[in-house]
């Protein structure tokens, strides 16, 4: 017995189409939705979803898996965070609208065709070309039974770092999932335009762990022995430390460094070689996101610092 695999092409207008891979198992069971490429410069998620599709050709499952490897095709072709047709960020447009611009319509289709009715949703991101990030799994910790299901999903996926956000951010696939009562997590990792074997392997392993945890797939869950939980409102990259001026950024810290309040994060130089801004840490914590590309515009993100994680045994 093998799974039934269907490739559904969904028209989103302006010659743009989404390819949704629907894998229906040999016996009934839950539905898990997996999304990659919400941002077009994040290859890790796209490749990991495609790798899962290959694995599930061979392994019979119970239930259904909806795979959307490339959620934002025009952005993916352009290797850009934003959709070049309307210059919008898909991760700020959920739940979307049928009569919106192409990005709004994309969000609308994903909300209704991929997320709605699922028992779990996993959205795979990374730092993108210009940034570096630690590998972690995030979810909304709203103190509700819904959030408990998200926490369980995060622990089943199994990254060393789990980030529980105590504030709901608008416009995300995760915010659409909250509205639809679909437990959801998102993942982040290295970025920089490369894909590290350790990171795509961790994504694929995590996806298999989730399917095993739902009894959809035979096998053993494999997660790191040490896990750290960060609990913080943050995680919204739009609200991180911003560049006050345009120039060349020179970093004084590295990813995952522990910093104290007022430690120097970076200098920004002008085109004469003079420092025109020095950015210090607004609070102590761990560097979870850091600018990698040197030229930076005023208003772009430099870094995100999270509180230190606490060891957890769940």
- The residues binding Zn ion (CB under 5 A) are 39, 42, 125
Residue 266 tokens, joined:
């970076």
Q: Are 314 and 221 in contact (CB under 8 A)?
A: no
Provide long-range contacts, Cβ within 8 A and 24+ apart, for 141-146: 141/165, 141/166, 141/231, 142/166, 142/168, 142/178, 146/178, 146/181, 146/183
Q: How far is the CB of 90 from Zn ion (least distance, A)?
A: 9
* Closer CB to Zn ion, 127 or 164, in the complex: 127
Strands (DSSP E) contained in 86-242 are: 120-124, 131-133, 136-140, 161-165, 184-188, 227-232, 241-242
Q: How far apart are CA 219 and CA 202, in angstroms?
A: 16
* Closer CB to Zn ion, 66 or 130, in the complex: 130
Q: How far is the CB of 131 from Zn ion (least distance, A)?
A: 10
* Closer CB to Zn ion, 43 or 141, in the complex: 43
User: CA torsion angle for 139, 228, 31, 1 (degrees, to 10)?
Assistant: 160
* Closer CB to Zn ion, 66 or 125, in the complex: 125
Pairing of strands 264-269, 247-251: antiparallel
Which residues, in sequence order, are bridge partners of residue 13?
Answer: 16
* Closer CB to Zn ion, 29 or 191, in the complex: 191
**Burial (CB count within 10 angstroms: exposed 0-12, middle 13-18, buried 19+), residue 122:** buried
* Closer CB to Zn ion, 16 or 42, in the complex: 42
* Closer CB to Zn ion, 40 or 63, in the complex: 40
CA torsion sign for 72, 76, 79, 85 is negative
Residue 41 tokens, joined:
């410069």
Coil vs helix vs strand at 209:
helix
């Amino acid at each position: 017995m093998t799974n039934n695999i269907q490739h559904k092409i969904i028209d989103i207008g302006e010659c743009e189409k989404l390819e949704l891979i629907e894998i229906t198992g040999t016996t009934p069971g839950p539905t898990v939705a997996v999304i990659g490429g919400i941002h077009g410069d994040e290859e890790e998620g796209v490749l990991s979803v495609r790798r899962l599709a290959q694995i599930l050709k061979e392994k019979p499952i119970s239930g259904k898996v909806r795979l959307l490897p490339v959620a934002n095709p025009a952005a993916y072709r352009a290797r850009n965070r934003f959709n070049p047709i309307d210059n919008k960020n898909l991760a700020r447009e959920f739940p979307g609208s049928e009569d919106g611009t192409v990005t709004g319509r994309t969000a609308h289709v994903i909300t209704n065709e991929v997320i709605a009715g699922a028992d779990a949703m996993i959205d795979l991101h990374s730092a993108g070309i210009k940034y570096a990030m630690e590998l972690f799994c995030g979810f909304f910790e709203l103190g509700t039974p819904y959030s408990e299901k998200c926490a369980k999903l995060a622990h089943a996926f199994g990254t060393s770092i789990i980030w529980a956000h105590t504030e709901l951010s608008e416009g995300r696939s995760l915010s659409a999932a909250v509205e639809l009562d679909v437990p959801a997590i998102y993942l982040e990792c290295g970025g920089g335009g490369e894909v590290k074997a350790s990171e795509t392997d961790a994504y694929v392993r995590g996806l298999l762990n989730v399917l095993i945890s739902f009894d959809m797939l035979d096998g053993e869950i494999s997660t790191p022995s040490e896990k750290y939980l960060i609990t913080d409102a943050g995680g919204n990259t739009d609200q991180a430390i911003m560049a006050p001026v345009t120039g060349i950024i020179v970093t004084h810290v590295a990813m995952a460094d522990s910093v104290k309040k007022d430690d120097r994060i970076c200098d920004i130089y002008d085109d004469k070689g003079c420092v025109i801004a020095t950015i210090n840490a607004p609070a102590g914590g761990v560097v979870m996101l850091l600018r990698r590309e040197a030229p930076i515009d005023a208003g772009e993100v430099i870094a995100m610092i999270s509180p230190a994680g606490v060891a957890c045994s769940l």
